Structure 1
Amino acid sequence: MTFFSFAKGHLLVPWLMFAVLIFGLEWTDADMRFASLLFNWQGGVDSWPLRGHWITESLLHVTGRNLVILFTVVVVVAIGLSFRVDKLRLYRKGFIYLFTSLLASVLLVRMGKSISHMTCPWDVIEFGGRMIHSSLFERLPEGAEFGQCFPGGHSSGGFAWVASYYVLKQCHRRYAKFGLLFGIGLGAIFGLAQELRGAHFISHDLWSLAIAWTSASLLYYGFFLYVPKVKRISVANKVSIINANVCDKAIYKL
């Protein structure tokens, strides 16, 4: 499969959907509207009441993060065991791909946070903070602080597991959709928890999903679908030799 044919269904369509959502949020100012809705629903005045709640902080944030770390350790252990256990050897490449994709997604989001200027909801003036809220596509006013709260870090730990869709697609195709639902569902739960705490806007988490899906898709193509030019030439030569031998035998019979 060529990269273009793969990208049409796995990258182009998701990117178009993402672009529509992002520009829709920008045009309607939905980030601030939704954050205000959550803030007022909680009864917030100068802080977010659910910021330190045990469900959003201890359960969904801290425990959720530890759960993702545990899942990742299981994948690493599975890679190690695949060198000793015959039944796991067949899945070694899938485990390595999954770990690589998880790591790439999280690192890319971390890099984005280090260079972005967007603030967390709990830091902006409208919600009791002291910083100015600005769009990703706007320049900060002179002297304004960089927020470094974009993209959503916690949700990226969940969205990164969309890569399990590709692992299952390669190994057990009928279950692939469950891998996709698992990654999107886990990221959405983590993202909503952070939005309830005032840690992120919706767009922050949508960008994390886009990064996770893009890195998972590109790595899947590189791991499982890309055929180096040298290998293609080698296969073509073998086919030519086989065809030539077949023709020689046919002529000999004549």
Structure 2
Amino acid sequence: MPALSRSRFYLRSFYLWNLGLPLLLAGLVFLMFDMTKIDIAFSNLFFDPVSQTFPLDQSHLFEKITHKWARIIPNWTAELALIGLLLSCVWPLFKGQRFPRGKALLEKIRLAPLLRFTARHRRDLLFVVVAFALCTGAIHYLKSHTSVYCPVETTQYAGKIEHKEWYQNFELLKTAGEGRCWPGGHASGGFTMLALYFVARRYRWRYSKAVLHGSLLLGFVYGTTRVLQGWHYMSHTFWAGIVVWLTCLLTALLFYGRARLEQPVLARTEPGPDQSAALTAVADR
């Protein structure tokens, strides 16, 4: 395949999967969930009409494991990225012949390799921090501007508020109300790990798809556990994933540019001469 044709193929493939697929899923979720009663039918499976509760919502152990402890993964990822970003500013201070004693001390206590690593990946660390922040901001914006109440808060499940879909309350420029349930916040915490997938794409890491699938699975598990407790509908999880995916994509395009992200991931075999040349060209951009 000619180089130009191959480039166009990878470009179409990248946007097909990373932009087209989330938009297609958005349309399907809207038609299958928001326009039907599937959400309620699914949540009914976990609601006890006798006690008028979601039994798993009464389990402190389930709450601790699936809601509180589970936050460790995205929280620590964001914190480590922020710490790494701050550390990335340290090594350039020792560039050249400045502070030779300090530089020697860092080498002696074996902190120099870590500082060099963070300095080399400063853009990636900044991307992860910004992507996490923008994803969180997008989710909070949608929560406050749609004012959707959680199932346990609605009359459908012994609550006091009438159930409404997100598009019935949507306000672009002002807070729509007190509801804060759409999209799924806990699910979005797992989905924000998608930022790591785009870092892996930048370096054409052959396990980037594993990072993608793992991030999607984590967000899906996070969201589903809240559905079982009556604090979200299933569609809230899907919407959280779609919003986070698109936010991470746009942020990655801003940070890395289209050319780096559209490159195919590395094969498991050693690259040939043509592949090696291509890798060198990408690394030099």
TM-score range, shorter chain: 0.7 to 0.9
Which AA in structure 1 matches 2:128?
A: L
Which AA in structure 1 matches 2:85?
A: I
Alignment correspondent of 2:193: 161
Contact 1:169 1:175 (C-alpha < 8 Å) held by counterparts = no
Alignment correspondent of 1:196: 228
Alignment correspondent of 1:46: 52
TM-fit CA distance, 1:122: 0.5
Note if 1:111 corresponds to 2:119: no
Q: CA RMSD in A?
A: 2.4
Q: How does 1:87-106 map to 2 (within 5 A)?
A: 87-106=117-136
TM-score, normalised via structure 2 length: 0.70
Aligned residue pair count: 220
Greater helix share, structure number: 1
Q: How does 1:22-101 map to 2 (within 5 A)?
A: 22-40=30-48, 45-83=51-89, 84=91, 85-101=115-131
Residue identity (%):
24
Which AA in structure 2 matches 1:121?
A: P
Instruction: Tell me: CA distance 1:226–1:170, structure 2 relative to 1, closer, same or farther (3 Å).
Output: closer
Q: How does 1:142-181 map to 2 (within 5 A)?
A: 147-181=179-213
What stretches of structure 2 of length at least 5 have no aligned partner? 1-6, 92-114, 171-176, 260-285
Q: Looking at CA atoms only, which structure, 1 or 2, has the larger radius of gyration? A: 1
Q: Aligned partners of 1:53 and 1:171: how far apart in 2?
A: 43
Instruction: Tell me: CA distance 1:70–1:13, structure 2 relative to 1, closer, same or farther (3 Å).
Output: closer
Residues 77-104 of structure 1 show CA distances to partners (whole Å, capped at 9, x for unaligned) of 1222333222333322111111111111
Which AA in structure 2 matches 1:112?
A: L
Instruction: Tell me: CA distance 1:114–1:26, structure 2 relative to 1, closer, same or farther (3 Å).
Output: closer
Range that drifts further, 6-15 or 92-101: 6-15
Contact 1:101 1:215 (C-alpha < 8 Å) held by counterparts = yes
Query: Alignment partner of 2:167: what SS?
Result: coil
Q: Aligned match of 2:25 in 12, 17, 21? A: 17
Contact 1:163 1:179 (C-alpha < 8 Å) held by counterparts = no
Contact 1:119 1:133 (C-alpha < 8 Å) held by counterparts = yes
Alignment correspondent of 1:238: none
Residues 32-53 of structure 1 show CA distances to partners (whole Å, capped at 9, x for unaligned) of 011111224xx76312221131
Range that drifts further, 99-108 or 128-137: 128-137
Contact 2:128 2:196 (C-alpha < 8 Å) held by counterparts = yes
Contact 2:146 2:169 (C-alpha < 8 Å) held by counterparts = no
TM-fit CA distance, 1:185: 1.6
Instruction: Tell me: CA distance 1:7–1:205, structure 2 relative to 1, closer, same or farther (3 Å).
Output: same
Residues 211-246 of structure 1 show CA distances to partners (whole Å, capped at 9, x for unaligned) of 10001000111111159xxxxxxxxxxxxxxxxxxx
TM-score, normalised via structure 1 length: 0.78
Query: Alignment partner of 1:173: what SS?
Result: coil
What stretches of structure 1 of length at least 5 have no aligned partner? 228-254
Alignment correspondent of 2:254: 222
Q: Aligned match of 1:210 in 242, 247, 268? A: 242
Contact 2:46 2:55 (C-alpha < 8 Å) held by counterparts = no
Q: Aligned partners of 2:117 and 2:71: how far apart in 1?
A: 30
Q: Aligned partners of 2:84 and 2:135: how far apart in 1?
A: 20
Q: Aligned partners of 1:116 and 1:61: how far apart in 2?
A: 23
